[in-house]
Amino acid sequence: MSTTYAIPDLHGRRDLLDLAVDAIAQRTRGGVATVVLLGDYVNKGPASAQVLDRLLTSFDQAWQLVFLKGNHDGIMFDALRDAGALPQWLENGGAATLRSYAPQSDHIPDPGIVPEGHRAFLERLRLIHIDAHRVYVHAGVDPARPLDAQQESTLLTKRYAADDASGHGDRHVVHGHHPFRDGPKLLRGRTDLDTLAWQTGRLVVGVFDDERPGGPADLIKVIGPSYQDV
């Protein structure tokens, strides 16, 4: 069975990322798999720099890795390119991100502390991943637009109504961005995997059978400390 694993919003929780990667490795045991990370690697949580470090290191060579862009990753990258965007970054968890680059500092470091490797990683993040039966994206899609004509703002910031079970045509949509402590939310046409993991310490990885349409075949629940205990 060809399998895709989807890891939702991490927001600076390196510990949960490590646990998720280990859990997936125990499932794959060196076999082929696709691992899609749904974006929002940074901001809010305590270890954004360390999350980016991990994403830039080697994974199981049998895995196809797909790194998607989240709106928080975009906010950070915009602020690193344009000082005028710095206030928006700081207002959206950027202070915690900058502190993660110098955890012993008693002040918020200058953005210049972010290494070029991290900047380049943020710049090359993809907006969408499509396979035979599913669309993987950070926030959501417009079901009325072709997948190759989606607006970036939709892909990064869409919030579905609670009763909106739409996918995209015959494809199931897998996303994060809209957090629910009691998630994930499993609907007919879409799966929202965001469980506010950076606060709750509970990260849920979706496991999808590439040969069968619809929602997850399984869920991997990764449990770490809540944010105040990190």
**Cα distance between residue 174 and residue 66, in whole Å:** 13
**Contact of 176 with 136, CB cutoff 8 Å:** no
The per-residue b/e assignment along 109-118, b for 16 or more CB within 10 angstroms, e otherwise, is eebeebeeeb
Q: Which residue segments constitute the domains of the chain, with CATH numbers given?
A: 3-229 (3.60.21.10)
**Cis check: omega of the bond before 184, within 30 degrees of 0:** yes
pLDDT of residue 76: 98
pLDDT(24) > 70: yes
In the chain, where do the E strands start and end?
3-7, 33-37, 63-67, 128-130, 134-137, 172-175, 185-186, 190-192, 202-209, 218-223
pLDDT of residue 129: 98
- pLDDT, tens digit, 9 for 90 and up, residues 97-137: 999 999 998 899 999 999 999 999 999 999 999 999 999 99
pLDDT of residue 230: 65
- pLDDT, tens digit, 9 for 90 and up, residues 57-112: 989 999 999 999 999 999 999 999 999 999 999 999 999 999 999 999 889 999 99
- pLDDT, tens digit, 9 for 90 and up, residues 186-214: 999 999 999 999 999 999 999 999 999 99
> What is the pTM assigned to this prediction?
0.97
Cα atoms in the 13 Å half-sphere on the side-chain side of 89: 23
**Cα distance between residue 77 and residue 133, in whole Å:** 31
pLDDT of residue 228: 73
Instruction: Give 101: exposed, middle or buried? Use CB within 10 Å, 0-12, 13-18, 19+.
Output: buried
Q: What is the DSSP letter of 112?
A: G
**Contact of 34 with 211, CB cutoff 8 Å:** no
pLDDT of residue 147: 98
The CB density around residue 221, as the number of other CB atoms within 10 Å, is 12
Nearest to 196 by CA among 206, 185, 183, 215: 183
pLDDT(146) > 90: yes
Instruction: Give 161: exposed, middle or buried? Use CB within 10 Å, 0-12, 13-18, 19+.
Output: exposed
